[in-house]
A and B are shown apart, each in its own frame.
Chain A
């Protein structure tokens, strides 16, 4: 798995091209500047050479020598030098002895200039321009002017420094711009992520589709998948319910036929049909319940408790039971509504079935968990019976078909949601069933 997220990738990729483009641009700018500075220096050298050439004179013995010259040439340490070559004879300005050994280039034709690098006194780097003049007495004439080139280098270094500062500033502005651009561009994706989290916690049923067109297409596709998932789950549950109906209707008929026999075989058949009905209940309850895998649902705990209590009051209307509910501040259940209905319904029905007269239902939060406690004032269960009652398909009472499987179903369901069912002794005197379930986040 690649650890880089989309934002890091986009910013990282932008930084790479910024560094490459900045480096190449800086190098190109630096090169062009250097060429311009050298060209300007060469032009100055050429002008000085031509100025010196115009001041060449013949002395008494007919030899050429530099007559007029810029005073800097005569100043020692000024870094201005000239070299006049007539055939093999070399004449130099003050301090220019070092140039005497310098192999000056020969321009291709008279009037042409060639630039070159040289070393002056004490190895000082020089930039030189050699002007070819008309031959004198058959000997080729070259006039070379050289200046200290450290001025150019200083100018180039200064420009490079300035360029680096400007490039760094520009780079930082561009990086900030890229980060802002990426964050702005990815904002709909971050919103989509937040909306999906809302869907996951059950606060939203579907992802809102108020997005830019390209992300809206993704949101619509996600909603399509969610809808199909819900439809498939509903279809599977309906199919399982239909199967239960068909099987149990036939079982009811078979049971009645067996009951009408009125003999030992008939009783055995009745017991067998009850066992089959129990198996059908158990496996179909597992097939039709449990989290759908996407953890999207959220159920109102207090509303479910109220509906279940209303239901059991009708089912046990003949018993005149007192059912006390304490659920102020109970958090919502993070799971399917019908699973919470199954858990609360089975617990309360079981308690009513065994209560002498009182049932207490409590729902509260414990961190991020929802704790349900259902107690009765019945006979309760001993340790051995408590262990057995939550095991798959086990039932302790034989009060009639369909009774007694409730706690095993609750235990299975609670485990499916990462919780559990614990049986204890109630302060009312009977059984206390404590279920630990995931709570939905508040809000």
Chain B
């Protein structure tokens, strides 16, 4: 899962980035409204953290432009303005959730996970595929009740597949949701990562669809 963090305050941006990466997300950073607008339209993020007080173009205008341009990525607004009129203006502009500064990093992570899950059409906080369970709030995977130890990249791929079960996901799409802007994206690496995930699970829930990509399906029986 890949997140765009739009925050102009460098320390806060770095802290958010570290926390989100530590929670299993691939993270891109935008330092101002221009960058935020450009990245948000160009990359298929799973969620965006948007500070309203961005330089060059303010966050609310950026959000308006994203929605006008057809970008429907869930947006978590990060704001110092705790007034309800600001929140309602944000919701009206297309925001999906709010966190008011100063905030607990864990709260941002929790809300982002919930936003991503709901935007994928999943209402339950625990996603199940056979004996395998993804606890979205906690960011952990279990297989027959036992924890599964996944690397961050494996976790991102598996999380994305769990959010979109029974759908064919191309390698390119997986790569887009696993790597940040600065990473090399080689499609065979995705194949390697999928193989590793399969080896760590008791049942094969990830099917290869020749020439198209992968599909997560529950085991039969």
Q: For residue A257, which residues in chain B have a CB less than 8 angstroms away from its CB?
A: 11
A273 lies within 8 A of B83 (CB): no
Binds B, one of A6-14, A97-105, A147-155, A240-248: A240-248
Instruction: Report the minimal beta-carbon distance from A211 to chain B, rounded to whole angstroms.
Output: 35
Q: Which residues of B contact A (CB under 8 A)?
A: 9, 11-12, 15, 51-53, 79-88, 91-92, 96-98, 100-105, 107, 114, 118, 125
A337 lies within 8 A of B53 (CB): no
B12 lies within 8 A of A256 (CB): yes
B96 lies within 8 A of A314 (CB): yes
Given A308-B88, A310-B91, A311-B91, check contact A251 B83 (CB 8 Å).
no
Measured in the bound complex, the distance between the Cα atoms of B11 and A257 in whole Å is: 9
Q: For residue B88, which residues in chain A have a CB less than 8 angstroms away from its CB?
A: 307-308, 311, 341, 345
A256 lies within 8 A of B105 (CB): yes
Instruction: Report the minimal beta-carbon distance from B110 to chain A, rounded to whole angstroms.
Output: 9
At the interface, is chain A mostly helix, strand, loop or mixed?
helix
Q: For residue B102, which residues in chain A have a CB less than 8 angstroms away from its CB?
A: 248, 251-252, 254-256, 273-274, 277, 401
A244 lies within 8 A of B12 (CB): no
Chain B minimum-CB-distance residue to A288: B83
Given A245-B79, A310-B91, A317-B114, check contact A252 B85 (CB 8 Å).
no
Q: For residue A349, which residues in chain B have a CB less than 8 angstroms away from its CB?
A: 84
14 A-B contacts, Cβ less than 8 Å apart?
A241-B86, A247-B80, A249-B12, A251-B102, A255-B102, A259-B105, A285-B82, A285-B83, A307-B91, A338-B85, A341-B83, A345-B88, A401-B102, A402-B100
Q: For residue B104, which residues in chain A have a CB less than 8 angstroms away from its CB?
A: 259, 400-401
Q: Is A136 an interface residue (CB 8 A)?
A: no
Q: For residue B91, which residues in chain A have a CB less than 8 angstroms away from its CB?
A: 307, 310-311, 314
B81 lies within 8 A of A245 (CB): yes
Instruction: Report the minimal beta-carbon distance from A29 to chain B, rounded to whole angstroms.
Output: 75
Chain B minimum-CB-distance residue to A337: B85
Q: Is A109 an interface residue (CB 8 A)?
A: no
Q: For residue A252, which residues in chain B have a CB less than 8 angstroms away from its CB?
A: 9, 12, 80, 101-103
B84 lies within 8 A of A318 (CB): no
Measured in the bound complex, the distance between the Cα atoms of B91 and A353 in whole Å is: 19
CB < 8 Å neighbour of B107 from A251, A338, A342, A400: A400
A315 lies within 8 A of B97 (CB): yes
A342 lies within 8 A of B83 (CB): yes
B118 lies within 8 A of A317 (CB): yes
Q: For residue B83, which residues in chain A have a CB less than 8 angstroms away from its CB?
A: 241, 285, 288-289, 338, 341-342
Q: For residue A288, which residues in chain B have a CB less than 8 angstroms away from its CB?
A: 83
A341 lies within 8 A of B84 (CB): yes
Measured in the bound complex, the distance between the Cα atoms of B9 and A338 in whole Å is: 28
A315 lies within 8 A of B105 (CB): no
Q: Which 7 A-B pairs have the closest CB atoms?
A: A345-B84, A248-B80, A338-B85, A252-B102, A245-B80, A402-B100, A248-B101
- Complex interface bits, A272-294 against B, C-beta within 8 A gives 1, otherwise 0: 01100100010001001100000
Given A245-B52, A245-B53, A249-B12, check contact A277 B101 (CB 8 Å).
yes
Measured in the bound complex, the distance between the Cα atoms of B101 and A401 in whole Å is: 8
Measured in the bound complex, the distance between the Cα atoms of B83 and A349 in whole Å is: 12
- Additional A-B contacts beyond A246-B80, A249-B9 (18; CB < 8 A): A242-B53, A244-B80, A245-B79, A248-B80, A248-B101, A249-B101, A252-B9, A252-B102, A253-B12, A255-B103, A274-B102, A289-B83, A307-B88, A307-B91, A311-B88, A341-B83, A345-B87, A402-B100
Measured in the bound complex, the distance between the Cα atoms of B83 and A346 in whole Å is: 9
B12 lies within 8 A of A342 (CB): no
A342 lies within 8 A of B85 (CB): yes
Measured in the bound complex, the distance between the Cα atoms of B117 and A317 in whole Å is: 11
Given A248-B102, A308-B88, A314-B97, check contact A241 B81 (CB 8 Å).
yes
- Complex interface bits, A308-352 against B, C-beta within 8 A gives 1, otherwise 0: 101100110110000000000000000001100110111001000
